[in-house]
């Protein structure tokens, strides 16, 4: 399979290892003026470089909150450090998907792995934040989008920012596990604030980095931690990697298919946002047929390389943003 162009390369993160909260790669800054506690989290997956660059940008520029608390964290640095230019997709994780193990079952369970140890180190960091921006990217080169549980507080913040304009809403959470943005109080209907994932575009594109930096600034400005140079302009942003123009488009997560057999395959090549009619065949997983459960069934996150036990595809339907 042809590898995409690598426009962004990893950098040495050792200068950021020693944080100031007793957890490696976690940095916290508290203003004199009270205000919300915002967590900017990068590298939940080791090969998603855009968040790493956005987090480094905050630290390198010495950004400090004018009110409240800013925490900047690099999550799965071990996976990040395993990056191989010849196999750029394989540094996503070491053992476990760090974005599916944020439940008591996993964190208090008997299993051990790099990702479980890291999540256990970071669990209080995540729980203490009022608002979370967890920065991700995608294997395929598709338009950026938000992902968040279907709580009004999440939609309100995501829609208040100028980009991206596409929203993937999870009314019932993630059936394949518990993501970081649903850990502890953040997964509850009366949780403390917004906790959202930003999918910036393809992992190794410079445009994904540019978007991550811009949205991080907008997110911090929205909560008053920094003063933006100008008010966000909802009409700005180029098509594709910069977030798109026009009206907000929202999609409801219907199901996530976890790959069961080595024979998993799509009926045709998919990259994301393809639309299927009700009953139309999307993929085959051994004896199982994956068919569209509704008209206008829209595909998100089709796997680039099927691996048994990992997610193969998200099935969604378009909805009217609330």
Query: What CATH number did the domain enclosing 314 receive?
Result: 2.40.50.630
Question: Do both 260 and 235 map to the same domain?
Answer: no
At 229 the pLDDT is 73
Report yes or no: 211 and 144 within 8 Å, Cβ to Cβ.
yes
Question: Do both 286 and 234 map to the same domain?
Answer: no
Q: What is the mean pLDDT of residues 51-56?
A: 98
Is residue 7 in some structural domain?
Answer: no
CA 95, chain centre distance (Å): 18
Angstrom distance (rounded) from CA 25 to CA 70: 14
Give yes or no for residue 231 having a pLDDT over 60: no
Query: pLDDT exceeding 90 applies to what percent of the chain?
Result: 90
Q: Sheet holding 297-300: strands in order across? A: 26-30, 69-74, 37-42, 131-138, 195-202, 145-149, 166-170, 249-258, 311-319, 297-300, 275-276
Question: Do both 269 and 184 map to the same domain?
Answer: no
- Looking at 219, 242, 265, the residue that finishes a domain is 242
Question: Do both 227 and 270 map to the same domain?
Answer: no
Question: Do both 162 and 212 map to the same domain?
Answer: yes
Tokens of 65: 């909150």
Question: Do both 95 and 208 map to the same domain?
Answer: yes
At 247 the pLDDT is 87
Is residue 66 in some structural domain?
Answer: yes
Q: What is the tally of structural domains in the chain?
A: 2
Tokens of 31: 């203003």
Give yes or no for residue 235 having a pLDDT over 60: no
Q: What is the mean pLDDT of residues 159-187?
A: 94
The backbone torsions φ and ψ at residue 24, rounded to the nearest 5 degrees and listed phi first, read -55, 145
Give yes or no for residue 243 having a pLDDT over 50: no
Give yes or no for residue 6 having a pLDDT over 70: yes
Q: Which of 218, 248, 216, 245 is nearest to 232 (CA)?
A: 218
Is residue 85 in some structural domain?
Answer: yes
Question: Do both 273 and 222 map to the same domain?
Answer: no
Give yes or no for residue 185 having a pLDDT over 50: yes
pLDDT per residue over 101-157, tens digit each? 999 999 999 999 999 999 999 999 999 999 999 999 999 999 999 999 999 999 999
- List the domain range (segments joined by +) for residue 298: 254-319
Q: What is the mean pLDDT of residues 1-15?
A: 92
């Amino acid at each position: 399979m042809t590898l995409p162009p690598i426009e962004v390369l990893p950098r040495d993160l050792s200068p950021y290892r020693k944080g100031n909260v007793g957890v490696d790669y976690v940095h916290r800054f508290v203003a004199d003026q009270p205000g919300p506690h915002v967590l900017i989290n990068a590298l939940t997956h080791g090969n998603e470089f855009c968040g790493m660059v956005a987090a480094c940008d905050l630290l390198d520029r010495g950004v400090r909150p004018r009110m409240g608390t800013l925490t900047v964290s690099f999550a799965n640095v071990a996976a990040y450090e395993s990056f191989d230019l010849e196999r750029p997709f394989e540094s996503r994780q070491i053992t476990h998907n760090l974005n599916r193990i944020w439940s008591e079952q996993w964190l208090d369970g008997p299993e051990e792995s790099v990702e479980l140890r890291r999540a256990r180190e970071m669990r209080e960091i995540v729980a203490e934040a009022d608002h979370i921006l967890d920065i991700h990217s995608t294997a395929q080169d598709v338009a950026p989008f938000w992902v968040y549980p279907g709580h009004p507080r999440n939609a309100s913040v995501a829609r208040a920012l100028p980009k991206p304009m596409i929203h993937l809403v999870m009314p019932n959470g993630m059936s394949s596990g518990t993501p970081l943005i649903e850990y502890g109080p953040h997964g509850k209907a009366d949780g403390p604030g917004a906790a959202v994932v930003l999918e910036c575009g393809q992992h190794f594109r410079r445009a994904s980095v540019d978007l991550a930096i811009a949205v991080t600034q907008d997110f911090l400005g929205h909560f008053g931690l920094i003063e933006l140079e100008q008010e966000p302009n909802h009409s700005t942003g180029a098509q594709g990697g910069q977030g798109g123009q026009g009206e907000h488009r929202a999609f409801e997560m219907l199901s996530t298919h976890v790959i069961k057999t080595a024979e998993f395959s799509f009926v045709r090549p998919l990259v994301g946002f393809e639309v299927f009619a009700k009953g139309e065949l999307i993929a085959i997983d051994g004896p199982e047929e994956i068919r569209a459960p509704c008209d206008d069934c829209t595909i998100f996150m089709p796997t680039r390389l099927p691996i048994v036990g990992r997610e193969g595809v998200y099935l969604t339907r378009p909805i009217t943003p609330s």
